[in-house]
Every structure is written in C-alpha cells, then in structure tokens.
Amino acid sequence: MPTFVRRIVALLTGLAFVAFPASAQKPAPRISIQENWIRDYTPFRIAGNLYYVGSEELACYLITTPAGNILINTGAPGSDTLIRRHIEALGFRFSDVRILLTNQAHLDHVGGMAAIKKMTGARVMIDKGDANVVADGGSSDFIFGGQGRLFEPVGIDRVLHDLDTVRLGGMEILVLHHPGHTKGSCSFLFTVKDASRSYRVLVANIPTILDQTTFPHMVTYPAVMKDYAYTLDTMPRLQFDIWLAAHGSQFNLQQKHHPGDPYHPMAFADRAGYDAVLEEQRKAFIRRVSEGQ
C-alpha cells in the first residue's frame, strides 16, 4: 500500500466517529463569471494536431482528425462564440467538431457545451460521475446544486468510465477517472504527432479542493475524501511528454506561451511543475483531513 494511502487510512480511522449532521453543510455558494474566464487569448498550435482554443484562463483544446475534430472543454456560458472564432482563425471549420469532452462538470468548463452541441451536432461524452450534473444543468451538483439550473442542460450521447477510449479518425483518447473536485472529474491521455516526433499528452484535471468541501463526511458526496485520496495517489504516477490542464493558471500557460511565439511543444513538458502542483494539493488535502473540515 503506498505511503500516502496509508497516511489517509490512518486519518480516516482517527476520524471515523466524527459526525457531521446535514445541517452543518454550508449553503450552496453563488457562481460569478470571472473576467479572465472570458478574456480573449490568441489561439495557437500546441503540438501536432492539438490546438489551444480557450480563453485566458479557461482552457479548451481542439484535436483535429481526418474524420472530424474533438473539443475538450467548452468554457463558461457564451464561450461558444469565442471558441468558434478561435477554431476558424486556425483554419478549421467549426461544423467539423464531432465529439465534446470535459475535464469536469462545472459551469466554467461545460457552460458552452449545449450551444456547441446544437450548432455542430457533436456527440457529448461525459464521465459517469458527472453525467447527471451535465444533463440537469448543474442543479444536482454536490456543492453548487439547489439553485436551479446553472447552465443549459446537455443531452449525453455516451457515458464514460475509467480507462474507456474515445476514438475518432485515428485518434485514441484514454479517459482517466480522477474524482474529488467533482464526482466525475477526469483527465485525458493521448498521442499527437508532428513532422519530427510524437508527443504523449496529458490534459489533467488538477484535484483542487473547494472551500465548501468537507472532510471526512459530506452528505451530498459521502465518498469525497476517499475519491480525493485515490486521485492524489494515482495522478503522480502518470507518464507523459507534455501536460496541460483545465485552467491556464494551473499549468502556467501565460509563462510558457506568448502570442506570436514560434511553435514549441516542449515548452509544455515541465514534469517538475506537474509534480509541484500535485504536491501542493496533496498537502492541502492532508491538512484539511487532519483539521476535520
């Protein structure tokens, strides 16, 4: 058993009899659109047939194939306009988007999904843990639910599970279930190629802990602590050439790429940065568990 998991088991044992009544749950917070979520950012080629088409902070990725294209994340509500403009600026047709994926079912990553599905007819594929949240527009979210719809509900064409493969036009995307931040948070691992070489790419869902998440017990998500422990044990063992994330700030997008920079895939290698981000989250998790929050 890995050392980190043993430590979590010990903490769980020590806190096993701590009771948190339902009334102790904090009221659902309101969500406000942050300015950098919608601030424009010049689209660019990351590596091979992988492109950045998101905003300054909300990362959206286009993977092109001969059979149509795959879009990972759709930004906040209204981002469909920005994403379409970026895709077309890169020389691709918006109507060629065939598959829609997301790292997590929060408003800032699936807010534009319904509109893009309607405009392109793309198939929506969502991790099982987030399927209900996407389908009901966020009203069943374990933290933000209870306020009615937070975004336009989206019809789901395929429910994804850990280690499923999404295939299109020769691309194979491995789905990695990394729950905690949401019940269906997931990362994606795949290979892209350019004229020089191939790159194993990880689009990671960094397991940040929201302020409203309580350990060890949370009525709306009883398995939340166990899921975080699993994710924080699993993610450091992943192997890749370059890594990206659902938020630009999580992988230092603006430090690694500036508008007008030449094509440079290895600017996004940064194994040390990936390990440091996960270590920060691991420490935050241990601290929150030990505090009994």
The predicted structure's pLDDT at residue 27? 58
CATH number at residue 135: 3.60.15.10
Which of 216, 214, 212 has its CA nearest to residue 17? 216
Q: How many other C-beta atoms are found inside a 10 Å radius of the C-beta of residue 39?
A: 12
- Say how many domains are in the chain: 1
Q: pTM to 2 decimals? A: 0.92
Mean pLDDT of 254-280: 97
Please write the tens of the pLDDT for every residue from 108-161: 999 999 999 999 999 999 999 999 999 999 999 999 998 889 999 999 999 999
pLDDT bucket at 291, cuts 50 / 70 / 90: confident
Do 282 and 4 contact (CB within 8 A), yes or no?
A: yes
- Site of tokens 């790419």: 201
Please write the tens of the pLDDT for every residue from 162-202: 999 999 999 999 999 999 999 999 999 999 999 999 999 99
Q: Name the residue range of residue 218's domain.
A: 3-291
Do 209 and 291 contact (CB within 8 A), yes or no?
A: no
The predicted structure's pLDDT at residue 7? 57
